[in-house]
Amino acid sequence: MTNQDHHRTRRGLLQVGLASIGGLIALRAQAQEKLAQNLVQYQETPKDGHMCSTCVNYVEPNGCKIVAGNINPNGWCVAWGPKA
């Protein structure tokens, strides 16, 4: 396996994992229940320049459409998606 094949495999696995998380989020959102912070790996600090305040799911001043509890505007989770 070449280094390039290794990256493709890792990228493919990451895409499948993120798609699975997205599906779980969509199913839970339909049930009108928010996800627990630990299920989306919520953390109080930004990750790779991404933070809750720049996420499409963020609700001012400290909420989220899909994650339960108080949300730090500078936090991050795997459900992060850029605002349009």
The reported pLDDT for the residue numbered 11 is: 77
Report whether pLDDT(12) > 90.
no
pTM of the model as a whole: 0.63
- The residue that leads in pLDDT, 37 or 16, is 37
Report whether pLDDT(31) > 60.
no
Confidence of residue 29 (pLDDT cuts 50, 70, 90): low
3-state secondary structure the chain: CCHHHHHHHHHHHHHHHHHHHHHHHHHHHHCCCCECHHHHCCECCCECCECHHHECCEECCCEECCECCCCCCCCECCCCCECC
